[in-house]
Structure formats: structure tokens, C-alpha cells
């Protein structure tokens, strides 16, 4: 997963408030229920010493769902607020968290947030009819979802029995218009896939429109195209079946990414391009050697020492002293590791602990080796 979107948080001095909240807003009493949940979370932050301005910034963000709009459709929400009440992160979660969190701490709990976020797989959703299509693009993590419509010629939208000598010409003209409209959609999708590196393009909507788009798709589109029945462009059309399929495809791609990284660790180990265990991963992160950091879903209670910069990280006071850091802070290991990964532009993948070799909490695939890299 690309975690560069977290740089706005990791580059910021703490302490910070980290909140993962249930903001479900689907019942008749949703407004009152959300207000009660938010009050409880705010009280927890206050008890931990968070300033009133910080607590109010968290509270006001979480209550935005009561005003309707997109936040009102979210089931879970993550908010991180800095010491001057500046909102550093505000993201929807994949679902309402089983256990809500509210923490005021020197370093934000980004790992908990990352675990709860939906799979950030770049993808495109196309809902087509014979005029054109509505296209939704989800790109990099932390970036808003893009939406646009492609509309072509509205003439001859239906083949009808007009009778007489002109019937064949009329139907042929209608088919040509549909094809021209579909080609505009294909051209737009091709540009988007090329720009975003979309892992899948989900195509829904009118059957004939889907057939034409599929037939005219470029090899680039065909390689990632997933066709499905259902969905429509009409106002008020039910999108739930499309949203459900998107979630399934994201989960499938997440699982494939996890499997690929675990295979890389096994293969790379033979060539010294992978390390396992906290001490070796910390050393590799300090040298910006890590291409992909792999964290276990079930961490240890281990702690690391950190300075103010992301790559000021070590397992001992001597490590930090060697980096010229006299006053190091002790923080949970996974938070320090994630901050260092963000600071060195490494990707991050979270996998079940049982999938990692030797029941270890962390591993890494390396960009390069040097004389000190274990072979």
C-alpha cells in the first residue's frame, strides 16, 4: 500500500489526538446516537489531557455526518488532530470499528488507522448506457474520489419498428450512434487507466452498452476489466450491488498483494533482499533500504526509541546516540516503524502474523543491499 498520504501526519510534531469512531448514520435516531458516541470519545480525550481546542476539532469533524452529505454515508471515520487543533487526517474507514479508539499521545496511532481503512487499491467504476457513462475513479490513498460523466449523441437511443423502407437504415444509424458513444467512453477509460494504474475497471449498466465497450476495449483495459450485471445511470438507481462488488474486488486485490509480498520475502531472502525481525528491519529503515515494510496484524508489545525525524529510530540508546539524538522517546515499535516507512517512501503491507516466517512481527523487502546487509 502506498502510504505517502500519511506524510502530512508523520512530518508534524506531536502530541496528537487519534480517533477511530463509529459514525453510522442509518437509523431514525442516528443524529442523537452519533452525538452520544462523539461525546463519549471527546470525554476520553479530555481525561487524557487533550486541550479543549483539540477535543472540539475532533468533535466537530465527527458530527459532520449529522449535516448529511458524503460524511453521513460513512460507517467508520478516522480523525487525527495536532496540538494546535489542526486536522491532519480525516478519512472514512472500511466499516464501523468494533472497538472505538480515542487517544492523546506523543505519536499518533497510524497503524490502527491503517488497519481499519479500506483497501486503497486504485480502481475505476463505469456505469454505462447507450448515451455514455458515469465514471468514478479511486486513485492514491488520501486523495478524493474523482467523478465524471461522458455523454455522446442522444439521437436514435432506441431501435424501434418504424416500418417501411427506412426501417433498416434507422436501426443501422441507431447502432452507429451507440458505438460512437461507447468509443468515447473507451477512450476516457484508457486515459484513466494509463494515468492511475488502476488495478481493476468494474463495468456495470446497460447490457448492450457493456457489450460494445467490452468489444472495443484496448488491451490495457481488457487486462483489468470486470463486467457485471446490474446498475444504471438513472437518478435514484440502486448502487448497492455495485458498491458490494467493488468491496469484493478490493478485498481480492488486497489478498493478492499480501500473497505477492510474502512470496517476495521468500524469494528475496535467497539473494539478501529481504530481512526479518525488528532489529534488522530498523537498521534497513535507517538507511532507506526498505522497499516494502510488512507488519503483522497482531503486534508485540515491543518499543523502540525515536527522535524527531522519521529515520531517527533505534532499538537502543546507543543507536540514537550514534545518530546524534541525545533525548530519544520510547514509543510502540509498530508506530515507529510505520513512521520510518512513510519517511523513506516505502510501501506498507499488513498481513496475518501466521503468514510471516517464524512468528515474527515485522519483515521488509529491500531496494538494495550493502556490505552490512545479512546474507
Instruction: Note the pLDDT tens digit of each residue in 38-77.
Output: 999 999 999 999 999 999 999 999 988 766 666 677 888 9
Nearest to 258 by CA among 352, 125, 164, 373: 352
CATH 3.30.70.260 fits 123-238, yes or no: no
The pLDDT of residue 195 is above 70: yes
Predicted confidence (pLDDT) per residue in 141-178, tens digit: 545 567 888 887 665 445 445 444 455 554 556 778 88
Query: Which of the following CATH numbers is that of domain 254-366: 3.40.50.720, 3.30.1330.30, 2.40.30.10, 1.10.287.80?
Result: 3.30.1330.30
Radius of gyration (Cα) for the chain, nearest Å?
A: 25
Give the CA dihedral 155, 161, 166, 168, nearest 10 degrees. 90
pLDDT tens column, 233-256: 877 788 888 988 988 898 888 888
* Torsion region of 63: left, alpha or beta (phi above 0 gives left; psi -120 to 50 gives alpha): alpha
User: Residue ranges per domain, the chain?
Assistant: 4-116, 123-238, 254-366
Is the Cβ–Cβ distance between 317 and 305 less than 8 Å?
yes
pLDDT confidence of residue 32? 86
Helices (H), the chain: 7-10, 30-47, 52-62, 110-116, 167-196, 207-216, 219-222, 240-269, 278-286, 317-322, 333-343
In this prediction the pTM is 0.71
Question: Is residue 171 classed exposed, middle or buried when 0-12, 13-18 and 19+ CB atoms within 10 A define those classes?
Answer: middle
Query: Which residue would you say has higher pLDDT here, 279 or 140?
Result: 279
Rounded Cα distance between 198 and 140, Å, is: 10
pLDDT at 372 exceeding the cut of 90: no
Which residue reads 490502527 in cell numbers?
112
How high is the pLDDT of residue 259? 82
CA distances from 8 to 12, 128, 236, 339, 342 (A): 7, 37, 37, 11, 10
**pLDDT the model gives residue 2:** 78
* Three-state DSSP state, 229: coil
Between residues 6 and 158, the one the model is more confident about: 6
Asked if residues 344 and 311 have their Cβ atoms less than 8 Å apart, the reply is yes
pLDDT digit string, tens, across residues 177-188: 888 889 999 999
Tell me the mean pLDDT in the region 193-201: 90
CA atoms within 13 Å, Cβ hemisphere of 221: 21
* Interval 320-337 mean pLDDT: 88
Say yes or no to pLDDT of 94 above 80: no
Query: Which strand ranges, in their side-by-side order, compose the sheet holding 132-138?
Result: 146-151, 132-138, 123-128, 200-205, 225-227
DSSP 29: T
Cell of 327: 533525548
Q: How far apart are CA 321 and CA 307, in angstroms?
A: 10
Residue 159's pLDDT is what? 46
Amino acid at each position: 500500500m502506498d502510504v505517502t498520504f500519511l506524510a502530512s501526519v508523520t512530518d508534524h510534531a506531536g502530541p496528537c489526538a487519534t480517533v477511530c469512531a463509529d459514525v453510522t448514520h442509518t437509523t431514525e435516531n442516528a443524529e442523537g446516537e452519533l452525538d452520544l458516541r462523539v461525546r463519549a470519545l471527546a470525554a476520553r480525550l479530555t481525561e487524557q489531557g487533550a486541550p479543549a481546542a483539540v477535543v472540539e476539532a475532533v468533535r466537530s469533524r465527527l458530527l459532520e455526518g449529522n449535516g448529511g452529505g458524503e460524511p453521513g454515508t460513512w460507517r467508520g471515520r478516522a480523525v487525527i488532530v495536532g496540538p494546535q487543533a489542526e486536522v491532519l487526517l480525516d478519512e472514512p474507514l472500511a466499516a464501523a470499528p468494533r472497538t472505538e479508539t480515542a487517544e492523546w499521545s506523543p505519536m499518533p496511532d497510524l497503524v490502527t488507522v491503517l488497519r481499519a481503512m479500506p483497501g486503497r487499491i486504485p480502481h475505476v467504476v463505469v456505469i454505462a448506457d447507450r448515451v455514455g457513462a458515469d465514471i468514478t475513479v479511486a486513485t492514491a490513498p488520501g486523495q478524493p474520489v474523482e467523478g465524471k460523466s461522458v455523454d455522446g449523441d442522444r439521437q436514435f437511443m432506441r431501435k424501434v419498428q418504424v416500418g417501411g423502407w427506412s426501417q433498416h437504415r434507422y436501426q443501422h444509424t441507431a447502432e452507429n450512434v451507440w458505438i460512437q458513444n461507447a468509443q468515447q467512453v473507451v477512450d476516457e477509460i484508457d486515459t484513466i487507466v494509463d494515468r492511475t494504474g488502476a488495478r481493476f475497471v468494474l463495468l456495470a449498466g446497460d447490457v448492450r452498452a457493456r457489450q460494445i465497450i467490452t468489444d472495443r476495449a484496448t488491451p490495457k483495459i481488457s487486462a483489468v476489466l470486470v463486467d457485471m450485471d446490474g446498475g444504471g445511470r438513472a437518478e435514484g438507481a440502486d448502487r448497492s450491488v455495485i458498491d458490494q462488488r467493488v468491496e469484493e474486488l478490493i478485498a481480492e486485490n488486497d489478498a493478492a498483494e499480501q500473497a505477492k509480498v510474502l512470496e517476495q520475502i521468500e524469494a528475496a531472502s535467497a539473494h539478501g533482499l529481504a530481512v526479518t525481525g525488528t532489529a534488522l528491519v530498523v537498521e534497513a529503515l535507517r538507511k532507506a533500504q526498505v522497499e516494502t515494510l510488512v507488519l503483522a496484524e497482531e503486534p508485540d508489545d515491543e518499543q523502540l526509541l525515536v527522535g524527531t525525524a522519521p529515520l531517527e529510530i533505534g532499538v537502543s540508546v546507543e543507536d540514537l546516540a550514534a545518530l546524534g539524538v541525545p533525548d530519544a522517546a520510547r514509543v510502540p515499535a509498530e508506530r515507529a516503524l510505520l513512521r520510518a516507512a512513510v519517511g523513506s517512501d516505502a510501501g506498507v503491507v499488513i498481513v496475518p502474523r501466521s503468514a510471516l516466517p517464524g512468528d515474527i512481527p515485522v519483515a521488509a523487502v529491500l531496494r538494495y543491499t550493502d556490505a552490512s546487509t545479512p546474507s
